[in-house]
Structure 1
Amino acid sequence: MRKIVLLAAVVVVAAATPDTFAGSGDVAAPRPTSEVTVWPTPREVERLGPDVSVPGEAVVEAGEQISQHTWQIALDALSQAGVLHQKIIRPGGPIDADAFLVRFRTDAAVPAEGYVVDVRDSGVSITSSDEAGAFHGAQTLLRLARPGAIPGVRITDHPSLPVRGIVEGFYGRPWTHAERLDQLRFAAAVKLNAYVYAPKDDPYHRARWADPYPSARLAELGQLADVAASVQIRFTYALAPGTTICYSDPAHLHALAAKIGLLHGAGVRSFALPLDDIEYARWNCPGDLAKYGPPGPAAAARAQTDLLNRVQRDVLAGLDGVAPLQTVPTEYSDVADSPYKKAFRENLDERVVLMWTGTAIVPAAITADEAAAAGAVWGRKPLVWDNYPVNDYPDAAGRLLLGPYTGRAAGMGVTGVLSNPMNQACASRGALFGLADFAWNDTAYDPDRALRAHASSLAGGDQRETEALLAFFDLNTRRSPVLARKISDFQIAWNSGDRHRAVAGLRAYAVTIADAPKLIRDECFAREARVWLDATERWGRALLAALDGLDGDRARFAESAKLVAEAGTAVKVGDGVLDRFLALTPGL
């Protein structure tokens, strides 16, 4: 991922700046255009005129409410467009007559996190109602700018979902501090705004929840919170006491409060108490039996909501600048009413945000009706904890999950969506890119288009590497749909008697597969995917050898079988499609 300094600025000479969110009519009527590509997909892009040539000098006008991290992005955009001399001024400051002006403006009519970027000969304006919108508008300007010019467009935009982000909630090796910082940079670039820290195998998150972090680790968490805030992302620390907590013991509430207090002192301003993946058919102490009665779903819900309410009302209420508490209930993956859910919705403080995974732990789809049912059964709109592309469960063993983000309905009516990624941070970004595009503009979302855009970005725009990445992504998508279609085309041609066309048609794609590992150059992605890339090369060569066999050199079938054996089965690549086809080829 290309790292950038995250700052921004806005526009224009006052007469050319839109006065309202809808824009002003000081030029000929703008026309919609699809020629400008910005990610996530904006709601409205209008062509105002030809591309704007940017002079060698520019001024960014930004009020005190615009952070340095925002206006710096505007400076980066100007540099990208070829501006050699730039300066920042406050509103009303001196402006050279020949300077190109980028002005940040405030308009309360702009929706939360929304913006209007307006590019004209006289300059650029970025209009928003809040700092997050100004930041997102500056990011859009950065993506518009190209050497020598900025497209003469107006982009009017705001997100579909209030919460869009990442929950680092998987089992296995947690991400490193450096990986988290890099993921925050990526998340900011695609307009995500939430990061929940909840790695199951951080002992201080779960197994040793009551123990304070060592000072170095605490400082790292504080840095994550600070960096996240600087790029308009809310960093939430999740503390998971459910495996050992005694709900009725005041000492345990005190331990929770102390841990939260330490984290607040380090800079964390949002907290979660997840109660997932625990046993509620037993208590952890005799006191809970005495207070709540025999263990069971309803009793567990009463104990859990007592705890959550006390943390919300008594612990967080005493801390400055803290967001409402978040939680994951123990019954988190269905919409069937139950004694547990009934007690939970009747007792839980209305401020607490509740996460839900859909109608399964790893659902193939989440529909608007299912989301509405979840809202009804829990008594509040859920925040979706989306278990894709996480690969920490048995059915995903040996897999990278690189397919597009799909199956989530537009207009779900939820609080937001958080992706639970893979242990492989960089390899998770294809799904995160798709989630960001979906959550920003769900009605315009196209999974395949988003995945191609991510591949192109990863490849630096190189077409051959982009195609190599897409072929590799497909091999690491359930049922490899692109390869499956090409094999189907092969079978149709083969069965029709046109065997030369059948082999030639599939061979071109086999070359793409076999060559992909040496074409994929992104250092982080290639490092994380290395064993899958090595296996892909063997499978691609095996497919080429099998096609040679079908073309008449039957001795090549033995080489194909040898390469398949070398690839092995521990690492899954194109399984259920490529392996089955190769097993059939000698008999065709």
Structure 2
Amino acid sequence: MFRRTATYYDARQGLITTPSKQPVFFVDLLLLMLSDLMGLFVETIVPRTGPVFLFAFCLGCSTSATKPHDAMGEDFGTEFSQDDGATEQLDTSQNFCSLASATVGQTIRVLPNPRLVIAVGEEVPILTIRGSGTSSQEEQEIREIAQEKGLTVSDDAQLVVAMMDESDFDTVTKRCGFHVKKVAGAYYLKIESTDGKSVTANIAGLDPEGRFYALKTLKQLIKDRKVRQALIVDYPETPMRGVLEGFYGKPWQEQDRLSILKVFSDLKFNVYAYAPKDDQRTNLLWKIPFTEQDKAFFTKIGAEAKRNRLRFCFEIRPVLFLKFSQKEDFDAMMDKIRTLHDCNVDCIILAFDDADKMFYDEDMEVYSTYVEGLADFMNRLGTEVLRLFPDMMLAYGPRDYYLFAPDINTDLAYMGQNLDKIWEVAWTGNEIVSKTITANDVEAFEAIVHRVPILADNFPVVEDPRDSGIINLAPITGRAKEVPSLIKGFIMNPMPLPFSSLLGLATGADFAWNPEAYNEETSLDTAAALFGDETGTRGLVTMSKTNRTKPLWDEPAPELLKAITDFFLAYETASYHGEMAVLKSQFEDFRDLTLAVTPQHLLPSLANELAPWASAQSEMGGLGLVVLDLLDRLANGKDVGAIEIHTLKDRLQSIEKTGIKPTIGVMPDFFERSMEYICSKITCE
């Protein structure tokens, strides 16, 4: 036995490998290689009789994997049901198992990173696309792919997306030797052309979710009206993956929220939770019935979530005015949940985070402690909700939602013992915002709550950047690779700027899906490429590398800080030109941000949100180049004029007045240190 790092094509490194590094048995590889050789032998020497040809392309499979299409045995196909009741034969002359045309040296980047991705040929130009054996929702997805990629849906299509039966997933993966977990969302996708003109994308999903995710992967492999030929076998590590809009501050704009749900679906998220702390409909006003306008608002979100295969969670945070023993409060909560169900909500979160214990007199007469009353109320509520709505998911956001919380070993331990298992429990790690989360941390929390937890990670959330001036564009880090397999869900809390949150959220999606292959900077590069062209991608990566926040990241701009430190150390020795060149290159990248971070090069909503930071960082880059020139001239005994210093100071003050803080303190510290040195050599006043 050996590891796949020497076996399959790794899109990250251009090697034949699999990033998951899961073991593959040598016999699997031999079967695949022999399959390819037999296919060549049969097609060139042996007459194409049915049984022999079947063996050639499905070595290791039984003949029951396919059905004869022609009585003479000239062709083989598998029947697939269509919406109109007709059936269509899928051309299985393609070898579903074959690695014969695997292409080493090509880079295929998909996010989340697939378990197995192999380039099996060059890009093929396409103008048209259609589905075969597809459901109505899959047909809609194909139409959206066509619209986004500039293609036309046509019966005589160059790219045919052929959906196989769910039973065929086992046939293809098991008998082709692909090791895959049978979990929701697993899929097989092979995109291949036999003539360089027509292309078939064969898809087998373990379930409808898997078929849907295969289409999302296919979309990423179409660019500039060309499709990549590839074989992909994939599945998620964490069952639930998504976003909880749960920050303090102004909730997202309605249209922004509706638009970004589609992006969440593209990232293979399957949960969206509405939980803005400053929307009082979820908090203080939880007892107040929704208006018709409210119902329409939430129904629209629910419909869009459903269209994008996202579970729509709604957080109710009854931190005030909830009396556990009072029937009217129980009835008010049930009325609210009934209304939410009618609005397409299929997940209720009852949250008590960041709140005091409100133990009312009426409850004290019935219960000995606050948590006794809470557990009783939630158990009765959960039972009634599931009686009415069996498919509703229930989750609990406790007051003690992090491992080092003061009352976790008393209050939460009681809830863990007494709260019915129908309730999931959410948790943020060791701290409110956790720098690191390990397998031991998960196991410690699980021991307290007596169930597998949902990780509600407070990332990439920060205080509203429009108020603080600080934006977090970092990839996720500090979470052990074992964590996704130990949790029920991985749910992230974004920033009040929805589209600016996408870089961090995308890397989180990557981590939760395939943690073994996760690399922060590689994931960042792939994520950035999803939201822009080459120019826009470079700009996004530049901004991400220089706008990172604590506690996950110790420094906001690690590479920039090192370049600045190296430059000043070298400057003191008068041998600094190499270090200055490195720093100058970074400043030039900053200067060019206003040319890169634009709607022409990026997702327009993302470019518009980032514009203030791109503008300020661009100005910092230009001023950085000016400062380097001044320092170089001083080191070489050349004059520096007072007017130059005055102009420099004015421009620095202008940036400061905006309140925007790209690089947080790194560039301001560079300017301060540089000015101190310059003004020690010349009169700056």
Using structure 1 for the length normalisation, give the TM-score: 0.86
Using the TM superposition, give the Cα deviation of residue 505 of structure 1 relative to its aligned residue in structure 2, in angstroms: 3.1
Distance 1:524 1:497 in 2: 46
Q: Hey, what does 1:73 align to over in structure 2?
A: 141
Q: Which moved more, 1:535-544 or 1:265-274?
A: 535-544
Of 223-232 and 452-461, deviating more is 452-461
Distance 1:57 1:314 in 2: 51
Of the two, which has the highest radius of gyration?
Answer: 2
Residue 207 of structure 1: how far off its partner (Å): 1.1
TM-superposed deviation, 1:410: 1.3
**Other-structure match for 1:437:** 510
Matched, 1:241 2:313: no
Q: Out of 396, 401, 422, which is 1:327 matched to?
A: 396
**Alpha carbons of 1:502 and 1:36: their partners in 2 closer, same or farther (altered >3 Å)?**
closer
Match of 1:579 in 2: 668
Alignment correspondent of 1:90 = none
Whether the 8 Å contact between 1:33 and 1:45 is mirrored in structure 2 is no
Aligned to 2:29: none
Q: Which residue of 1 aligns with 2:381?
A: 311
Cα deviation, 1:537-565, whole Å, max 9, x if unaligned, reads: 44333322321220225444443333332
Partner of 1:369: 440
1:545 aligns with 2:545: no
Q: Cα gap change, 1:326/1:517 in structure 2, threshold over 3 Å: closer, same or farther?
A: same
Which one of the candidate residues 197, 212, 217 is aligned to 2:294?
Answer: 217
Shift of 1:258: 0.4
Matched with 1:560 is 648
- How far apart, in 1, do the equivalents of 2:649 and 2:621 lie? 12
Map 1:242-257 → 2, pairs under 5 A: 242-257=319-334
CA positional deviation for 1:50: 4.8
Q: Measure the CA separation in 2 of the matches of 1:286 and 1:584.
A: 61
CA distance in 1, matches of 2:443, 2:646: 56
User: What SS does structure 2 have at the residue aligned with 1:246?
Assistant: coil
Q: CA deviation at 1:197?
A: 0.6
Deviation at 1:493, TM superposition (A): 3.1
Among 337, 342, 355, the residue aligned to 2:426: 355
1:96-245 equivalent positions in 2, closer than 5 A = 101-108=160-167, 109=170, 110-121=182-193, 123-146=200-223, 149-245=226-322
Q: How far apart in 1 are the matches of 2:151 and 2:219?
A: 13
SS at match of 1:482: helix
Does the Cα contact within 8 Å between 2:463 and 2:495 map onto a contact in 1?
yes
Q: Secondary structure at the match of 2:272?
A: strand
Shift of 1:31: 7.0
Q: Secondary structure at the match of 1:388?
A: strand
Contact 1:16–1:120 under 8 Å retained in 2? no
Which residue among 614, 617, 634 is the counterpart of 1:536?
A: 617
Quick one: distance in 2 between partners of 1:305 and 1:505? 60
Contact 1:38 / 1:140 at 8 angstroms: preserved in 2? Answer: yes
Q: Write the mapping of 1:376-387 to structure 2, written as runs, cut at 5 A.
A: 376-387=447-458
Residue 47 (1) aligns with residue 106 (2) = no
Counterparts in 2 of 1:17-28, with a 5 A limit? Answer: 24=97, 28=100
Matched, 1:455 2:528: yes
Q: Deviations over 1:191-232 (max 9, x none)?
A: 111101111111110010011222122112112112111211
Hey, what does 2:460 align to over in structure 1?
A: 389
CA distance in 2, matches of 1:17, 1:164: 34
Going from structure 1 to structure 2, the CA distance change for 1:78 and 1:368 (only over 3 Å counts) comes to same
Deviations 1:455-493, CA, capped at 9 Å, x for gaps: 33333222xx43333222233213211211221332343
Secondary structure of 1:392's counterpart equals: coil
Residue 416 (structure 2) aligns with: 345
Q: How big is the shift at 1:572? A: 2.6
1:414, distance to aligned residue in structure 2 (A): 0.8
The superposition leaves residues 507-533 of structure 1 with CA deviations (integer Å, 9 ceiling, x where unpaired) of: 232122133134310332243234433
Give ranges in structure 2 of 5+ residues lacking alignment. 1-81, 171-181, 195-199, 550-554, 634-638, 678-685
Aligned to 2:92: 15
2: CA distance, partners of 1:586 / 1:147? 48
Partner of 1:488: 565
C-alpha deviations, 1:372-415, integer Å up to 9, x for none? 11111111111111111111389x93311111111112121111
Question: Following TM superposition, by how much is the alpha carbon of 1:12 offset from its aligned partner in structure 2, in angstroms?
Answer: 8.2
Percent identity of equivalent pairs? 26
In structure 2, how many angstroms separate the alpha carbons of the residues matched to 1:31 and 1:139? 23
Which residue identity does 1:45 align to in structure 2? Answer: V
1:289 and 2:369 are equivalent in the alignment: no
Task: For residue 568 of structure 1, give the secondary structure of its aligned residue in structure 2.
Answer: helix
Distance 1:498 1:440, change over 3 A: same
Distance 1:526 1:152 in 2: 31
Instruction: Give the CA deviation at 1:573.
Output: 2.3
- Provide the residue aligned with 1:5 in structure 2: none
Q: How far off its partner does 1:370 sit?
A: 0.7
State how far apart, in whole Å, the 2-side matches of 1:494 and 1:275 are.
55
- Contact 1:76–1:142 (CA under 8 A) maintained in structure 2: no
The Cα shift of 1:73 comes to 3.1
Tell me which amino acid in the other structure corresponds to 1:519: A
Q: Secondary structure at the match of 2:288?
A: coil
Q: State the alpha-carbon separation in 1 of the partners of residues 596 and 192 from structure 2.
A: 40
Does the residue aligned with 1:116 lie in a helix, a strand or coil? strand
Residues 537 and 276 (structure 1), Cα distance of their counterparts in 2 relative to 1, 3 Å cut = same
* 3-state SS of 1:543 partner: helix
Say if 2:165 and 2:204, in contact at 8 Å, map to a contact too.
yes
Determine if the alignment matches structure 1 residue 276 to structure 2 residue 381. Answer: no
Q: SS state of the match for residue 551, structure 1?
A: helix
Q: Give distance in 2, aligned partners of 1:82 and 1:232.
A: 24
Name the aligned partner's letter for residue 287 of structure 1: E
- Cα distance change of structure 1 residues 386 and 16 upon mapping to structure 2, 3 Å threshold: farther
Structure 2: how far apart are the matches of 1:159 and 1:433? 14
Moved more, 213-222 or 203-212: 213-222
SS in 1 for 2:380: helix
- Rounded to whole Å, the distance in 1 between the matches of 2:147 and 2:253 is 32
Change (3 A) 1:12 1:227: farther
Greater CA drift, 524-533 or 134-143: 524-533
Residue identity opposite 1:366 in structure 2: I
Correspondent of 1:520 among 576, 583, 597: 597
SS for the counterpart of 2:191 is strand
Further displaced range: 529-538 or 38-47: 529-538
Give distance in 1, aligned partners of 2:119 and 2:612: 46
Distance 1:393 1:352 in 2: 31
Match of 1:135, SS state, is: helix
Residue matched to 2:494: 421
Which residue of structure 2 aligns with residue 296 of structure 1?
none
Alpha-carbon distance change, 79 to 538 in structure 1, aligned in 2, over 3 angstroms: closer
Matched ranges for 1:25-40 at <5 A: 28=100, 35-40=107-112
What CA deviation, in whole Å up to 9, does each residue of 1:59-82 have, x standing for no partner? 52225xx3x332333355568888
Q: Is the 8 A contact 1:33 1:46 kept in 2?
A: no
- Larger RCO: 1 or 2 (CA < 8 Å, sep 6+): 1
Gap regions ≥5 residues in structure 1: 1-7, 88-95, 294-298
Indicate conservation of the 8 Å contact 1:12/1:124, yes or no. no
> C-alpha separation between the residues in 2 aligned to 1:309 and 1:33?
57
CA offset digits 1:22-76 (Å, max 9, x no partner): x545x7485777622222111101234455565x77652225xx3x332333355
Letter in structure 1 aligned against 2:511? F
Checking the alignment, whether the CA contact within 8 Å between 1:387 and 1:419 is kept in structure 2 is yes
